[in-house]
């Protein structure tokens, strides 16, 4: 679960029942007087959805009975594909929130918090849930929300109007066979597109999935197959987005989609590799027994941190995006390591600036236990070719004001919490060197290797000198 997801702790149904009379009708109490609702009852689930959206986001929602309710859709079309469950967790919409929070993290370096951020929701459904949540959470977000079904868009329009968001959410009926009809609206760039695609490739596949469920599909969902079925299933839907992205490229900074089946993750990663897109991110949204995946790719140069771009699950090891961070541990304190690094950078004519860690500052504990610095590299000064030029007296410096850097990097030094097996006073520092911007992975990697080689040399020499000094004093 994303750390900012407010459903990290279960809402108190008793409190909600007290505040919302319509919800109260669905609340029961067990022997221990604990409030619960019947998750088999679509009306109860729907009312819970309305209540939480109102209580937690100030959103008003109304969904026609023959359309997917964001929660019911999680149970019926998303969560229950393989393993039906009636647990509380999967029936709420935390995975939708996880997806929104992940996008917030993904785009935070491509947009500023003060400018308008435009996003696209492909297949917004009757609820228009992603644009509503996205706008409720982010005052500067605006959406183009599409759907292929008029009746769903009419319901979505009603929800947008009810929430006074018509100036921030534009609805578009997509009657073309494209997934990104952005040429049908006034031209602009978008920070992201997102999608919860229909999962099934045929009505039959949907019916088989429904038949495999422990409980029959509720009447709420039986008439909404067009929302869950698409030719070729979710794989084809996402592949279409990918193919269209090859044309639009940087007009959308991050192309993303939710994925409901693990097999689809493998297939989409293979497609990305086929098109030589190495700037992609993969994450896992876990909620109770339910696992969903988020995939994103970009033609831009921003390289997101590994915490956002790499899933931690071992099951996904074979599809992990290429790494953009190197981590090593050094037998010294952060300050000494920082001075060693900056002297290597200065020698290599690489600029750097020390940044403050706002989290550390906020905690009023700003000290040298954690040091951040970053910079941009314009010339590969450590390469043999450039060193030869320098030796021949050539001016290798470029006008940094006008030329694009080769890449940007960030360096983080943290006092290691690793347990020392040797003397207690031996301090260790964790060094993380991150690639944050650029399109040439090889140059960043050669920069890191140069830095590491020089640090190895320096600390080996220091150690040797220390031993020699110790030997002299003892003799």
Ligand X SMILES: C[S@@+](CC[C@H](N)C(=O)[O-])C[C@H]1O[C@@H](n2cnc3c(N)ncnc32)[C@H](O)[C@@H]1O
- Residues 128-157 vs ligand X: string with x where CB under 6 A? -xx---------------xxxx--x-----
The DSSP string of 8-58 is: GS---HHHHHHH-HHHHTT-EE-TT--EE--TT-HHHHHHHHHHHHHHHH-
Q: Which residues contact residue 313 at a Cβ distance below 8 angstroms, ignoring those fewer than 6 apart? A: 284
Residues 213-242 that bind ligand X (CB under 6 A): 226-228, 230
Please tell me whether 96 is known to bind a ligand: yes
| Closer to ligand X by Cβ: residue 291 or 430 | 291
| List 27, 122, 135, 269, residue binding ligand X (CB under 6 A) | 122
Q: Which residues contact residue 227 at a Cβ distance below 8 angstroms, ignoring those fewer than 6 apart? A: 67, 68, 73, 77, 125, 149, 152, 198
Tell me if 180 sits within 8 A of 84, measured CB to CB: no
| List 49, 51, 76, 77, residue binding ligand X (CB under 6 A) | 77
Q: How far is the CB of 242 from ligand X (least distance, A)?
A: 14
Give the number of other Cβ atoms within 10 Å of residue 95's Cβ. 27
CA distance 177 to 236: 12
Residues 163-192 that bind ligand X (CB under 6 A): 174, 179
Q: Segment contacting ligand X (CB under 6 A): 119-127, 262-270, 351-359, 399-407?
A: 119-127
Where are any strands of DSSP class E within 200-269?
252-259
Q: How far is the CB of 156 from ligand X (least distance, A)?
A: 9
User: Does 76 participate in binding ligand X (rule CB under 6 A)?
Assistant: no
- Residues 43-72 vs ligand X: string with x where CB under 6 A? -------------------------x-x--
Please tell me whether 138 is known to bind a ligand: no
| List 49, 124, 220, 301, residue binding ligand X (CB under 6 A) | 124
Please tell me whether 294 is known to bind a ligand: no
| Closer to ligand X by Cβ: residue 163 or 230 | 230
Edge-to-edge strand list for the sheet holding 407-415: 325-330, 429-438, 407-415, 370-377, 353-355
Q: Report which DSSP code applies to 6.
A: G
| Closer to ligand X by Cβ: residue 148 or 337 | 148
- Number of residues binding to ligand X, judged by CB under 6 A: 25
Q: How far is the CB of 312 from ligand X (least distance, A)?
A: 24
CA distance 439 to 285: 28
Strand partners, 144: 120, 170
Please tell me whether 369 is known to bind a ligand: no
Q: How far is the CB of 148 from ligand X (least distance, A)?
A: 4
Residues 360-399 that bind ligand X (CB under 6 A): none
Q: What phi and psi values does residue 188 have, to the nearest 5 degrees?
A: -160, 165
Q: Report which DSSP code applies to 98.
A: H
| Closer to ligand X by Cβ: residue 81 or 436 | 81
Q: Which residues contact residue 65 at a Cβ distance below 8 angstroms, ignoring those fewer than 6 apart? A: 219, 220
Q: Find the helix or strand (DSSP H, E) in which 407 lies.
A: strand 407-415
Residues annotated within a binding site for S-adenosyl-L-methionine: 96, 123, 147, 196
Binding site for ligand X (CB under 6 A): 68, 70, 73, 77, 122-125, 127, 129-130, 146-149, 152, 174, 179, 196-198, 226-228, 230
């Amino acid at each position: 679960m994303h750390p900012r997801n407010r459903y990290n702790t279960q809402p108190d149904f008793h409190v909600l029942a007290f505040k919302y009379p319509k919800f109260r009708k669905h609340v029961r109490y067990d022997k221990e007087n604990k409030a619960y609702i019947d998750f088999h009852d679509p009306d109860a689930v729907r009312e819970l959805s309305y209540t939480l959206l109102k209580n937690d986001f100030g959103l008003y929602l109304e969904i026609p009975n023959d359309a997917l309710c964001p929660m019911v859709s999680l149970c019926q079309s998303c969560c229950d594909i393989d393993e039906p469950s009636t647990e509380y967790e999967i029936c709420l919409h935390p995975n939708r929130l996880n997806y929104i929070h992940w996008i917030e993290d993904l785009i935070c370096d491509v947009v500023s918090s003060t400018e308008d951020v435009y996003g696209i929701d492909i297949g917004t459904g009757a609820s228009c849930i992603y644009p509503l949540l996205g706008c409720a959470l982010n005052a500067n977000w605006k959406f183009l929300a599409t759907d292929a079904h008029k009746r769903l868009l009419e319901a979505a329009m009603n929800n947008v109007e009810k929430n006074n968001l018509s100036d921030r959410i534009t609805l578009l009926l997509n009657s073309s066979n494209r997934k990104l009809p952005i040429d049908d609206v006034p031209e602009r760039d978008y920070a992201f597109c997102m999608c919860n695609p229909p999962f099934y490739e045929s009505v039959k596949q949907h019916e088989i999935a429904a038949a495999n469920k422990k409980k029959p599909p509720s009447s709420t969902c039986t008439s909404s197959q067009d929302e869950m079925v698409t030719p070729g299933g979710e794989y084809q839907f996402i592949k279409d987005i990918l193919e269209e992205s090859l044309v639009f490229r940087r007009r959308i900074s991050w192309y993303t989609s939710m994925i409901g089946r693990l097999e689809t993750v493998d297939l989409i990663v293979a497609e990305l590799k086929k098109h030589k897109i190495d700037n992609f991110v993969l994450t896992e949204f876990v909620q109770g027994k339910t696992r969903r995946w988020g995939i994103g790719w970009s033609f831009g140069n921003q390289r997101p941190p590994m915490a956002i771009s790499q899933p931690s699950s071992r099951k996904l090891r074979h599809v992990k995006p290429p790494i953009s961070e190197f981590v090593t541990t050094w037998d010294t304190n952060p300050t000494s390591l920082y001075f060693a690094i900056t002297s290597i950078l200065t020698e290599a004519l690489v600029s750097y600036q020390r940044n403050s860690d706002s989290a550390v500052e906020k905690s009023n504990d700003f000290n040298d236990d954690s040091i951040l610095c970053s910079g941009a590299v314009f010339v590969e000064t450590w390469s043999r070719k450039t060193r030869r030029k320098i030796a021949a007296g050539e001016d290798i410096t470029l006008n940094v004001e006008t030329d694009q850097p080769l890449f940007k990097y960030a360096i983080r030094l943290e006092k290691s919490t690793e347990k020392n097996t040797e003397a207690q006073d031996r301090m260790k520092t964790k060094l993380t060197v991150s690639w944050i911007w650029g399109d040439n992975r090889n140059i960043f990697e050669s920069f890191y290797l140069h830095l590491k080689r020089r640090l190895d040399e320096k600390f080996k020499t220091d150690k040797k000198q220390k031993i020699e000094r110790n030997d002299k004093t003892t003799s």
